[in-house]
A and B are shown apart, each in its own frame.
Chain A
Amino acid sequence: MQKGLIKVTTGYERFVHWMLAISCLLLCFTGMGMMYKELNFFGAIFGGLKGLKVVHNYTAIAFGVALVLAIQMWWKEAGVFVFPEDWEWFKTAGGYLWHVDKVAETGKYNPGQKMFFLTVAFFGMVMIGSGFFMLYPQYISANLLDWMYPLHALGFLVIFAFFFVHLYLGTIGNPGTVQAMFTGWVTRAWLKKQHPGWLREMEHEGTLTVSNGK
């Protein structure tokens, strides 16, 4: 790795991230192909609409496993707000929306990332729960079952919109970010800009892993 780069993610973190991401996108793709008549042609590559259903149902298992692993791995760092530090960040919207001279110093995860994590965790579980009863309606009362369908659609609404937020902020919206989820190595300047509190903490504790270029 290029000299001076800093390691910010472990291989396990990247594996869980991509397992969740790929299964989530495949679920969005197959689900949309079924929900929107105009997108029924998505089924062509799976041998028809029935193929979409089969792939959707089995992919849900991978998504459920990845979701559990992700929550177990990240909830302590990304699932809990710390006040008053996080409040300072909220007041400036992280410097994303208007000009801010000095954005509050953030640690490993900024409050925006925490909100994203909590949303995915919560609505991911909503999707698994509502989807389970759609597949096995015999385990729920008819009145409640009726509401599992709009709940599943609401989960899709939120997760699909958040996917694009995540895609933008993880790539061109924050240059230098995307390699954190590919190689795991980022530049020092990126870390200083995005997570100065975490950089300082790692330097202080001597846990910073810097590539020596070999």
Chain B
Amino acid sequence: MNNNTEIVKLIDTTLCTACRGCQVACKQWNELPGLPTKQTGSYQNPPDLQWNTWTLIRFQEYEDKDGKFQWLFRKDGCMHCTDASCVKVCPSGSLYYTPNKTVGIDRSKCIGCKECVAACPFNVPKYDKATDKVYKCNLCYSRIQENLPPACVKSCLTGALSIGPKDEMLKKAYAKVEKLGGDANVYGDKFVGGTHVIYILQFKPEVYDELPVSPKVPQSIFVWKDLFKPLSLVAAGGVVGGALLHYILHGPKRPDPADNITPNDKK
């Protein structure tokens, strides 16, 4: 694997046993603290992604049409979009595309504006008030640069997680889906320019908790960044130019000096 290859991390949810080794390995490699959490009546812990939890196994109790019970385990985290909303809105360049086309984060540049938190269609970046910065998975960019798999992939016992060049991983995903049959599908390659984290799902995407069926860059971001932002300068420039033209063509509105004589002075 070349250091600049476009890579994809494949998550085969059908092989996941929810051991949460990836969740622990992620914290270990990235030196993220464990914080007190709440019992919500689920094995899912913590309840959601947090500034200190960049990947999380979601536990879902699923009953099919025949009332047959099944656990659904989904490893949640940054999807590393090709058209990443977070990169588009980030004012500081803290969020950026790595040469592997994943989305890196340079926290020294982050100013804690939270614009990426609102923009992300997958609800991934999390803000920490204490440090006034945003946190999310960077697909262990420091390891990727050294040709090492991310900590989560390294820790995975069942082969549910694998990483490699995009085309190879997609081929592998579609082969698996064909083998599974039924509603099985590949999730991630058909929107936001293709994500660099791809799921093999046994059921349709709408079955899974917190998984958007057709995620996209919010319309509001285009109105904001591609319309009003450039138009602001055009409008201001137009006014300055217009004022100059007005001054030289129409001329200013000058008072008539004769009117300075007050009625009293006239007497």
Contact = CB atoms under 8 A, between A and B. Distances in A.
A49 interface: yes
A4 interface: yes
B111 interface: yes
Interface in A31-64: 34-37, 40, 48-50, 52-53
B252 A189 contact: no
Interface residues of B, number: 44
Contacts of A173: 243, 246-247, 252-253
Interface stretch (A17-25, A79-87, A152-160): A152-160
A4 B259 CA distance: 11
A34 B115 CA distance: 12
B159 interface: no
Contacts of B109: 49
A88 B153 CA distance: 75
Interface in A139-192: 142, 145-147, 149-150, 153-154, 156-158, 160-165, 168, 172-176, 187-190, 192
Interface in B203-259: 218, 220-221, 223-224, 227-229, 231-232, 235-236, 238-240, 243, 246-247, 250, 252-259
A156 B250 CA distance: 28
Contacts of A197: none
Majority secondary structure, B binding face: helix
A153 B118 contact: no
A150 B250 contact: no
A187 B255 CA distance: 9
Contacts of A118: none
Nearest to B113: A53
B238 A161 contact: yes
A189 B262 contact: no
B250 A96 contact: yes
Instruction: Give 3 closest A-B pairs by Cβ, nearest first.
Output: A189-B255, A153-B228, A150-B224
A36 B232 CA distance: 11
B112 interface: yes
B220 A147 contact: yes
Contacts of B111: 34, 48-50, 52-53
Given A153-B228, A193-B253, A188 B262 contact: yes
A51 B229 CA distance: 21
B253 A192 contact: no
A164 B232 contact: no
A165 B238 CA distance: 10
Interface of B: 89, 91-93, 109, 111-115, 117-119, 132, 218, 220-221, 223-224, 227-229, 231-232, 235-236, 238-240, 243, 246-247, 250, 252-262
Contact of B235 (A50, A161, A176, A192): A161
A48 B91 CA distance: 12
A172 B252 contact: yes
20 contacts: A34-B91, A37-B91, A40-B92, A49-B91, A49-B92, A146-B218, A149-B89, A150-B223, A153-B224, A157-B232, A158-B235, A161-B238, A165-B239, A173-B253, A174-B252, A175-B254, A189-B257, A192-B256, A193-B253, A194-B253
A153 B226 CA distance: 11
A115 interface: no
Contacts of B227: 150
Given A34-B113, A149-B115, A149-B118, A4 B243 contact: no
A95 B255 contact: no
A53 B255 contact: no
A134 interface: yes
A192 B255 contact: yes
Contact of B260 (A161, A165, A168, A188): A188
Contacts of A150: 220, 223-224, 227-228
Given A34-B92, A190-B255, 13 more contacts: A4-B260, A50-B112, A137-B114, A157-B228, A160-B232, A160-B236, A161-B232, A161-B238, A168-B246, A173-B253, A175-B252, A188-B261, A189-B258
